[in-house]
Amino acid sequence: MLQGIQDIVNILNNALWSYVLIFLLIFVGSYFTIRTNFVQIRMFKEMFKLLTEGVTKATKSDNKNSVSSFQAFCISLASRVGTGNLAGVAIAIAIGGPGAVFWMWMIALVGGGSSFVESTLAQIYKIKDENGYYRGGPAYYMEKALGARWMGILFSVLITLCFGLVFNSVQANTISLAFNEAFGLDRLHVGIAVTALTSLVIFGGVKRIAKVAEMIVPIMATSYVLIAIVVILMNIQMVPSIFVLIVKSAFGMNQVVGAGVSMALLQGIKRGLFSNEAGMGSAPNAVATAEVTHPVKQGLIQTLGVFTDTLLICSATAFMILISGVYKNGDMTGIQLTQNALSSQVGAWGNTFIAI
């Protein structure tokens, strides 16, 4: 019985994730990119300016229940950064080869258009509840802008199941694997600890989530990128050849680990979408909690989040793995591959760093 259910889930998952969702998100991202006249590229400089404003002055509003644009950025970045950046990139390279990295970059550029639109809409159609907190997201603009309340309800149910059960399970599974690899800890005990720590944050409401994300996300992301830069500088002579390897592998001119162009393309797109979540409707829920002077400002800041996730953090993982060469043996994948890649360059403490 259970095996039969699992087979059905696998079939549906493969059909939706490998065909329907990928092509739909690419189409929508391309459409929004063209309709906004490539806003994610044209307004790139403005994104940094707005993010800086969000750090230096949280908000001009006297509403103590709102969160700043920078806090909303950190919350959404916290949802983007994680398994996809550390384990997803490793899986993409292990299965699709170095060429998968190129297609991850491409999907980030296209996804920037989707992120801009969905985040701006979240700000336009947000509401203030009876406690003075802002709330909004795809379900709200499906109802208010499209007049399709049924669609908003369906989205709410699906995203609750997806993020409440599935995505959290993937994250917890990766954390437990990483701590098992680094410290030999029992994975069940790690899961219980993660649940307890997460509960302390989320049951404090959006303000506590914002404060914790504001403290943790910049530190963790920055430290990870800095470690990657150290590894790259240690192997600076390899960087040009790594770039060449990525591009050649993406177009089938240099195949490794048996991966063809289609596999590199598929894995790059799938892991890129899973990592940056552009167009998936998750980030806008956090975006709507922010109070900004214009909806487009938050749309641009969230677009920067997509680039930060994929072009910066995913690239950091990819370069460490490709420099180390550990992906070639085929014995490891996921988070353990990333751990071994870093450890091969900086020593055994790399396992601990990745786990934390």
Q: Counting Cβ atoms within 10 Å, is residue 332 exposed (0-12), middle (13-18) or buried (19+)?
A: middle
Segment holding 166, helix H or strand E: none
Q: What is the pLDDT of residue 59?
A: 45
pLDDT digits (tens, 9 = 90+) for 291-336: 888 899 889 988 988 888 888 889 999 999 999 988 877 676 788 8
149: helix, strand or coil: helix
Q: What is the pLDDT of residue 129?
A: 82
Rounded to whole angstroms, the Cα distance separating 270 from 17 reads 8
Residue 43 contacts residue 299 (beta carbons within 8 Å): no
Rounded to whole angstroms, the Cα distance separating 235 from 322 reads 11
* Start-to-end Cα distance in the chain: 38
Q: What is the pLDDT of residue 55?
A: 60
Q: Which residues of the chain have pLDDT under 50?
A: 59-62, 258
Q: What is the pLDDT of residue 259?
A: 55
Q: Both tokens of residue 53? A: 């404003």
Q: What is the pLDDT of residue 65?
A: 59
How many H-runs (helices) and E-runs (strands) does the chain carry?
20, 2
Q: What is the pLDDT of residue 285?
A: 87
Q: What is the pLDDT of residue 57?
A: 57
Q: What is the pLDDT of residue 342?
A: 92
Residue 222, Cβ neighbours under 10 Å: how many? 10
